Amino acid sequence: MSSIKCPSCGQNISKHANVCIWCKCPLTPTVMNAAEESENRRKIEAHKEKWEKKEEMRLAQIRAIESRQIHCPYCGSVNVRKTTFWSDFGLWQSVGKQWVCKDCGSYF
């Protein structure tokens, strides 16, 4: 059974009661809604905490993925590509330094 506190005497009473059984104070729908509202606030806070934990984990995963990306050691850009050339045999092959930065043009 769900209960609320009477605004007049403070005794616990059923949330479905129309009057307090102790002091006969009439209960308006706003009094009953106050208890439901506090329960809803508690649920929202619990959901918010759960969402914040998920968001924190998602950001940590993104940071881990970004840290593994190839980046230019000179300018820090991740706008890089593999260096390749067309050989006499018709194959793409890596040459010397394997990466080139599209932003600063340096090879590494």
**Residue 83 DSSP SS3:** strand
User: Is 53 in the same domain as 15?
Assistant: yes
One domain, residues 100 and 79 = yes
Q: What's the confidence (pLDDT) of residue 40?
A: 82
pLDDT in tens, 73-95: 888 888 888 886 665 665 555 55
**Does residue 89 share a domain with residue 64?**
no
Same domain, 20 and 53: yes
* Domain limits for position 48: 1-68
pLDDT of residue 50: 92
Amino acid type, 34: A
- Its pTM surpasses 0.75: no
Domain count, the chain: 2
Which residue is listed with tokens 């605004």? 7
pLDDT of residue 94: 56
Per-residue pLDDT of the chain (108 residues; tens, 9 = 90+): 578 888 888 899 988 888 889 898 888 765 557 777 788 889 889 999 999 999 998 888 888 777 788 888 888 888 888 886 665 665 555 556 788 899 998 888
Are 107 and 97 in contact by the 8 Å Cβ rule? The answer is yes
- CA distance from start to end of the chain: 71
What gap in Å lies between CA 103 and CA 87, rounded to an integer? 26
Tell which residue, 3, 5, 25, has the closest CA to residue 16: 3
52/92 same-domain check: no
Residue 64 and residue 76 in one domain = no
Q: What is the DSSP-derived secondary structure letter of residue 25?
A: P
> Which distant-in-sequence residues (6+ apart) come within 8 Å of 53 by Cβ?
none
